[in-house]
Chains A and B, each alone.
Chain A
Amino acid sequence: GAVVSQHPSRVICKSGTSVKIECRSLDFQATTMFWYRQFPKKSLMLMATSNEGSKATYEQGVEKDKFLINHASLTLSTLTVTSAHPEDSSFYICSARPLGRGSGANVLTFGAGSRLTVL
């Protein structure tokens, strides 16, 4: 089945530094990847939609200069949290939609998530 790998799974950084999180589709191509942020009370917030070869589309209220998204290929999207602050500490989850049509294209495969802690 479709597998999405997210790396790193856990990262601790100092305030003011930048952190990059990678999201890779291992056995399928994905023109579209989505980045979610999960808050302590479980709710998932869509941050942005990442499209291969073009700029990401950010949801309202998400700072695009702070959360840089790059979708360099059909199998890789990266999220960089720039100048991280403690309030950026969260669980970040990526997901990918397989290339193509059919009912399978409606199913998102999720990465295992990345726990960011900013000290």
Chain B
Amino acid sequence: GDSVTQMEGPVTLSEEAFLTINCTYTATGYPSLFWYVQYPGEGLQLLLKATKADDKGSNKGFEATYRKETTSFHLEKGSVQVSDSAVYFCALSPANQAGTALIFGKGTTLSVSS
């Protein structure tokens, strides 16, 4: 079945460092891909998404490009801030399966220090 694999954390960075969190997926067809963020004690918030190959999702300085050839959707940010400290989840919505739940990776904890 479909699955998502994220890099293991935690990721610890200094403020203004470059961030990459790797995400690869296994799926049939063209799933939709998402990054969600969870701040401490809160639920998940959609960070960005891409629905077809070569799409780039972006929000709050974060970017991720849907790469069909490498089945990847890596999250990047050029300069992280302390406020970016959170858990980041990569997820997919299976192709042609409207109404099904998202499939999540295990999450990557990001800790940014000043």
A binds B: yes
Instruction: Using CB atoms and an 8 Å cutoff, list the residues of chain A in contact with chain B.
Output: 6, 31-32, 34, 41-44, 46, 49, 93, 95, 97, 101, 103, 105-113
Q: Is A103 in contact with B98, judged by CB distance below 8 angstroms?
A: no
Interface-located stretch among B14-22, B45-53, B66-74: B45-53
**Prevailing SS type, chain B contact patch:** strand
**Which chain A residue has the least Cβ–Cβ distance from B52?**
A103
Given contacts A42-B106, A42-B109, A44-B89, contact A107 B99 (CB under 8 A): no
Q: Is B101 in contact with A112, judged by CB distance below 8 angstroms?
A: no
How extensive is the interface on chain B, given as a class? 20 to 34
Q: How far is the CB of B47 from chain A (nearest CB, A)?
A: 11
In the assembled complex, B80 has its CB within 8 A of some CB on chain A: no
**Which residues of chain A are near B100, meaning CB under 8 Å?**
49
Q: Which of B30-50 contact A (CB under 8 A)?
A: 32, 34, 36, 42-46, 49
Given contacts A103-B32, A103-B51, A107-B49, contact A43 B107 (CB under 8 A): yes
Given contacts A44-B89, A49-B101, A93-B43, contact A110 B106 (CB under 8 A): no
A113 vs B99: C-alpha distance when bound (angstroms): 21
Q: Is A108 in contact with B43, judged by CB distance below 8 angstroms?
A: no
A6 vs B44: C-alpha distance when bound (angstroms): 12
Q: Is A112 in contact with B32, judged by CB distance below 8 angstroms?
A: no
Q: Is A44 in contact with B104, judged by CB distance below 8 angstroms?
A: yes
Q: Which of B34, B49, B100, B109 has the most CB of A within 10 A?
A: B100
Q: Which 3 A-B pairs have the closest CB atoms?
A: A42-B107, A112-B43, A110-B44
Given contacts A32-B99, A34-B101, A97-B99, contact A42 B87 (CB under 8 A): yes
